[in-house]
């Protein structure tokens, strides 16, 4: 028993050491990601775009996709995720901020902003065992930032929760901070536009790749070296698969009204409830369409739909201390008081 406990503590120490190392190397990963994204964009516009039909149509569409990819990556790296101790965030009037719909501008920002149709509840508060802060429901402690994050999803220097075969492909795409309430929208949109970009590169660059290999016996007339283009093309093919899987996983969680952490917790809740002959239900799940509408904060009482294709800053629909639930529910059915999963203890 003592030996097992010592082994467990040893693994915990190695885990914390790995967290510290990846946290310290975070800026390097971010710099590497900017370099790879920039080189990929240059290769596409210099080699692939001139070969496409209808350049008057392809050029603005490709530019829009590229701008969205870069801007959402910039946002997710620079926008704070929302720590429990942070003051409430208010939208700015700068040119990077989207404008709300006219009918919602005059409504005061309360727990849920600009909505009168949702069943809103104040979440329960618990004291974090690690930092000692009182935190609302859906907040979790980040062991790298050493702070509690509102609607915590994951910390990016730690590999995202995808299968092992796809991890190597996305190791460079890190943001050096948590994904939480205020930057999760930009994170998901970044994955969406990165997936589209990678797919376009892989599909539209097929002929250019064969040309770079000398298959057509044509002279290579681009400034980008053939070897550099082929390396980026191979990376784009892997990314097209890996990021699409990861982005699909994130969108599925969003459509279910849960974060990555909550999807794992909810699986445990279902097993516990099933063992008692009860049924678990996620009280935050308002239906796939409504969940997506609230996550991206678009629709009648929020921001226009064009904010999904124009990379502007958008506030979340809530301040992280009030949440929309199914009508008549104030907690998850099937989960009893005291059974809520919390962050693992350090020891």
Per residue in 211-248, pLDDT (tens digit) is: 999 887 788 889 999 999 999 999 999 999 999 999 99
pLDDT at residue 330, as a whole number: 87
Tell me which residue of 181, 179, 177 sits closest to 113, measured CA to CA: 181
Lowest pLDDT segment from 3-7, 53-57, 98-102, 255-259 = 3-7
Catalytic residue among 43, 62, 156, 178: 156
Query: Is the pLDDT assigned to residue 89 strictly greater than 80?
Result: no
Residue 67's contacts (CB-CB under 8 Å, 6 or more residues apart) are 311
Q: Which string of DSSP letters, residue by residue, matches 85-148? A: TSPPP----STTBPPPPHHHHTS---SBTT-SSSEEEPPPEEE-TTT--EEETT-EEETTTTEE
Three-state SS sequence of 33-95: HHHHHHHHHHHHHHHHHHHCCCHHHHHHHHHHHHHHHHHHHHHHHHCCCCECCCCCCCCCCCC
Whether the CB-CB separation of 266 and 280 falls below 8 Å is answered with yes
Distance (Å, rounded) from C-alpha 60 to C-alpha 81?
32
Q: Clarify whether 148 is annotated catalytic.
A: no
Distance (Å, rounded) from C-alpha 231 to C-alpha 235?
6
Query: Is the pLDDT assigned to residue 203 strictly greater than 90?
Result: yes
Q: pTM here?
A: 0.85
Q: Where are the domains of the chain?
A: 34-325
Query: Is the pLDDT assigned to residue 139 strictly greater than 90?
Result: yes
Q: What percent of the chain has pLDDT over 90?
A: 51
Average pLDDT over residues 315-326: 90
pLDDT at residue 230, as a whole number: 95
Query: Is the pLDDT assigned to residue 99 strictly greater than 70?
Result: yes
Q: Which string of DSSP letters, residue by residue, matches 143-185? A: TTTTEEETT--EETTSPPSS-HHHHHHHTT---SSEE-TTTHH
pLDDT at residue 110, as a whole number: 47
pLDDT at residue 346, as a whole number: 43
pLDDT at residue 40, as a whole number: 94
Query: Is the pLDDT assigned to residue 83 strictly greater than 50?
Result: yes
């Amino acid at each position: 028993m003592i030996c097992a406990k010592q082994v467990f503590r040893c693994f915990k120490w190695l885990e914390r050491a790995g967290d510290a190392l990846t946290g310290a190397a975070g800026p390097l990963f971010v710099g590497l990601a900017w370099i790879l994204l920039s080189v990929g964009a240059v290769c596409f516009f210099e080699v692939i775009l001139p070969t496409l039909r209808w350049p008057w149509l392809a050029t603005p569409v490709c530019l829009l996709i590229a701008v969205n990819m870069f801007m959402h990556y910039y946002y997710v790296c620079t926008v704070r995720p929302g720590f429990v101790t942070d003051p409430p965030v208010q939208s700015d009037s700068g040119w990077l901020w989207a404008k709300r719909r006219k009918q919602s501008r005059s409504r005061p920002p309360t727990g849920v902003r600009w909505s009168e149709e949702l069943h809103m509840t104040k979440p329960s508060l618990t004291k974090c065992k690690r930092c000692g802060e009182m935190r609302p429901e859906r907040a979790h402690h980040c062991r790298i930032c050493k702070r509690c994050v509102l609607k915590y999803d994951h910390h990016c220097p730690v590999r995202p929760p995808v299968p092992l075969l796809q991890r190597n492909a996305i190791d460079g795409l890190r943001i050096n901070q948590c994904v939480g309430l205020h930057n999760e929208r930009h994170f998901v949109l970044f994955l969406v536009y990165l997936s589209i970009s990678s797919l376009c590169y892989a599909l539209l660059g097929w002929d250019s790749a064969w040309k770079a290999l000398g298959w057509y016996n044509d002279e290579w007339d681009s400034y980008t070296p053939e070897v550099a283009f082929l390396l980026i093309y191979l990376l784009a093919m892997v990314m097209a698969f890996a990021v699409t899987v990861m982005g699909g996983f994130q969108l599925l969680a969003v459509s279910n009204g849960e974060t990555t952490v909550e999807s794992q917790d909810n699986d445990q809740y279902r097993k516990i409830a099933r063992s008692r002959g009860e049924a678990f239900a996620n009280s935050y799940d308002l239906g796939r369409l409504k969940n997506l509408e609230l996550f991206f904060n678009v629709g009648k009482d929020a921001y226009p739909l064009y904010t999904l294709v124009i990379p502007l800053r958008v506030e979340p629909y809530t301040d992280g201390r009030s949440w929309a639930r199914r009508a008549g529910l104030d907690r998850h059915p099937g989960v009893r008081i005291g059974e809520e999963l919390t962050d693992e203890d350090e020891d």
